[in-house]
Amino acid sequence: MQFSVYQESHIGGRKVNQDRMGYSYTRDALLLVLADGMGGHLRGEVAAAITLQTLSEMFQKQAAPYVRKPERFLEEALLAAHQEIHRYSAVHNLPDTPRTTVVACLVQHNMAIWAHCGDSRLYWVRRGQVLARTRDHSHIEHLIAKGEVAPAERATHPDRNKLYNCLGASALPKVDVSRQASLLPGDVLMLCSDGLWSMLPDDEIAHTLSTSTIVRAVPDMLGKATAIAGPKSDNTTALAIMWQGSPVGDATPTAMADSIISTQMMPEDSVNTTIAEPAAPEHEPSDAFDEDEIEKAIAEIRGAIEKSSQILKG
């Protein structure tokens, strides 16, 4: 694999930055994760950090050197993060469970697949066009889908910040998993928090990502979004890659000019990550789920999704 990567986060006008982002990669697979801790609940930044650590740990165990079942991996990983957040809450006897939104993307064999809960977004951009982006789990998006509200009201509608899905809530999360997307050299994948996308329209995001390197585009968009929002701006975070495909020639496995990374020469069992381990474990790590537990949890999620869909349609 060969790709360029850049990530940055601004605290904005908040006292605490509850956004977290990071990536992990092996010779043949790349995992991108961004989580936005929910400020209306205690320790949102903890929920976001637990989410990144859980997904990174599972990736490092299963990417050998690539993930065999990417859809299943993403669904199980987000469910495991949800359970780890609840475990943290129980260990610390918190009055309320920390919560976070999340978006994660797995890239391998020139294919990308992503999953999300909440309103942290992924954009897939090619030649100035948004080929795909995640649909927020918000009340406003539900109303738009039903035709009750015009898309132009996204930025001003009073329900634009009301979410019905996240990690850490009492109900099981709804994990939206995309279809696999075939990447071409030059394609850009960007994960971002609502502090960015709520300030910039999709066409401006696509234009910026297509006319500048991501090393320039990401900080430019973060700075502009923060300036537009003003003194009370939200945490604003983005993590982006430009896909280069398979390396050509004798590229080195280390970071090169313009933050290009090639994994061609990495050992098969090697993993690199920017997601930090906790300084001191808050509790003993849980064993991996056995097959019966996984199947039961996945079935419960699907049942909850179907029930939620029936209620929303009603």
CA-angle at 31, arms to 29 and 34, nearest 5°: 170
8 A C-beta contact, residue 131 and residue 111: no
- What 8-state DSSP symbol labels residue 167? B
Q: Phi and psi dihedrals of 300, rounded to 5?
A: -65, -40
CATH number at residue 185: 3.60.40.10
Amino acid at 254: T
Q: Which of 27, 68, 35, 32 is nearest to 242 (CA)?
A: 32
pTM to 2 decimal places: 0.84
Please report, in angstroms and rounded to a whole number, the separation of the first and last CA atoms in the chain.
46
Task: Taking each helix axis as running N to C, give the angle between helix 70-91 and helix 291-313, from 0 to 180 degrees, rounded to the nearest 10.
Answer: 90
Using alpha carbons, select from 124, 247, 246 the residue that is nearest to residue 192: 124
Q: Tell me the pLDDT of the chain (314 aa) as tens digits.
A: 999 999 999 999 999 999 999 999 999 999 999 999 997 667 999 999 999 999 999 999 999 999 999 999 999 999 999 999 999 999 999 999 999 999 999 999 999 999 999 999 999 999 999 999 999 998 888 787 788 888 777 766 776 678 999 999 999 999 999 999 999 999 999 999 999 999 999 999 999 999 999 999 999 999 999 999 999 899 999 999 999 986 544 333 333 334 689 999 999 999 999 998 654 434 443 444 445 554 555 555 555 445 544 544 44
Task: Identify the domain containing residue 117 by its residue range.
Answer: 2-313
**What's the CA gap between 136 and 162, in Å, rounded?**
10
Task: Write the single-letter amino acid at 283.
Answer: H
The span from the CA of 190 to the CA of 6, in Å, is: 10
Domain total for the chain?
A: 1
